[in-house]
């Protein structure tokens, strides 16, 4: 039975989970933690998390609940809008102890989400799955718990997207390190990317008109929506608007560099 919930996860969650897994004790097979975020209109948005110390063996599991409560209280002081929405564990599968841990989070949140993250990277891919629990069994008899899959989406805010792009560039660097680019360099990169996409669209339209490729109605509708969303501006007006914004950007960058220079001079003068 499919769940009506949808789980949206931000990239910072995955980095935090991987970091906690890398810092785990030598004898620990997996790491668990609390998921924080919001739950509105059937969408669970996970925006924060923290690891919770625990010990488990084949026969028993022990979770430091006092630590989990204290960490949550501290998080509430920083961001009161984030509440407990579930918990995570590393590994591709649900263990026999997951039901016991899930019972605790069921007392802290309504219909909590259990997310599993495959940090072993089976198949060179970080498998991410989410579940909600529901009772299973015959009325009047011993009941159990069944975990129902929940769709998982990866979403990000604009600052997170910038950070992810920087990390991706570091993967291709032999020194495994990158530096933040300037605003003008970012604009140049975006313009080059936009130019490549416009060239690809133009070539596709020309091929359709010359009967080299069959027309796709879906692509045509998207292109019509794209064209209709562009404001009808005169060329001179567009150039004036672009130049005005460019001057504002250059002024901000100049002032920021001037401020950094003044601060650096003040620090050096104070040490004399």
pLDDT digits (tens, 9 = 90+) for 109-133: 888 999 999 887 777 778 888 988 8
Question: Is the pLDDT score of 25 beyond 70?
Answer: yes
Tell me the CA distances in angstroms from 89 to 12, 13, 32, 86, one per residue in order: 16, 12, 4, 11
Question: Among 137-146, 192-201, 212-221, which is the least confidently predicted range?
Answer: 137-146
pLDDT band at 46 (very low <50, low <70, confident <90, very high): very high
What mean pLDDT comes out for the span 173-177? 70
> How much is the pLDDT for 272?
67
* Model confidence at 245: pLDDT above 90: no
Classify domain 6-155 at the CATH superfamily level.
Answer: Cytidine Deaminase, domain 2 (3.40.140.10)
Nearest partner of 49 among 91, 87, 93, judged by Cα: 87
The answer to whether residue 18 scores a pLDDT higher than 50 is: yes
Supply the pLDDT for residue 137: 62
pTM (two decimals):
0.64
Q: pLDDT exceeding 70 applies to what percent of the chain? A: 90
pLDDT at residue 84 in the model: 92
135: left (phi over 0), alpha (psi -120 to 50) or beta: beta
Confidence of residue 190 (pLDDT cuts 50, 70, 90): confident
Return the closest-CA partner of residue 152 out of 14, 256, 1: 14
pLDDT of residue 3: 55
Are residues 7 and 150 in contact, defined by beta-carbon separation less than 8 angstroms?
yes
Greater pLDDT, 134 or 261: 261
- What is the average per-residue pLDDT within 174-197? 78
Q: How far is CA 215 from CA 198, 203, 218, 224, 226, in A?
A: 18, 13, 9, 14, 17
């Amino acid at each position: 039975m499919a769940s009506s919930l949808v789980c949206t996860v931000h990239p910072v969650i995955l980095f935090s989970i991987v970091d906690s897994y890398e810092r785990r004790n030598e004898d620990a097979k997996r790491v668990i933690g609390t998921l924080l975020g919001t739950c509105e209109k059937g969408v669970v948005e996970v925006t924060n998390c923290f690891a919770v110390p625990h010990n488990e063996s084949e026969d028993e599991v022990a979770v430091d609940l006092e630590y989990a409560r204290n960490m949550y209280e501290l998080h509430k002081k920083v961001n009161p809008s984030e509440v407990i929405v579930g918990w995570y564990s590393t590994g591709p599968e649900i263990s026999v102890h997951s039901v016991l841990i899930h019972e605790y989070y069921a007392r802290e949140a309504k219909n909590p989400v259990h997310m599993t993250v495959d940090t072993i990277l089976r198949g060179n891919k970080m498998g991410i799955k989410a579940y909600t629990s529901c009772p299973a069994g015959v009325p009047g008899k011993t009941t159990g718990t069944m975990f129902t899959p929940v769709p998982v989406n990866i979403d990000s805010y604009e600052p997170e997207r910038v950070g992810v792009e920087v990390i991706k560039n570091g993967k291709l660097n032999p020194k495994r390190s990158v530096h933040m680019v300037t605003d003008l360099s970012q604009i140049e990169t975006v313009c080059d990317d936009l130019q490549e996409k416009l060239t690809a669209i133009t070539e596709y339209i020309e091929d359709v008109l010359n009967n080299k490729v069959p027309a796709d109605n879906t692509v045509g509708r998207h292109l019509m929506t794209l064209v209709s969303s562009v404001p009808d501006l005169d060329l001179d007006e567009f150039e004036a608007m672009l130049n005005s914004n460019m001057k504002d950007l250059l002024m901000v960058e100049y002032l920021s560099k001037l401020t950094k220079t003044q601060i650096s001079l003040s620090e050096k003068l104070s040490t004399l």
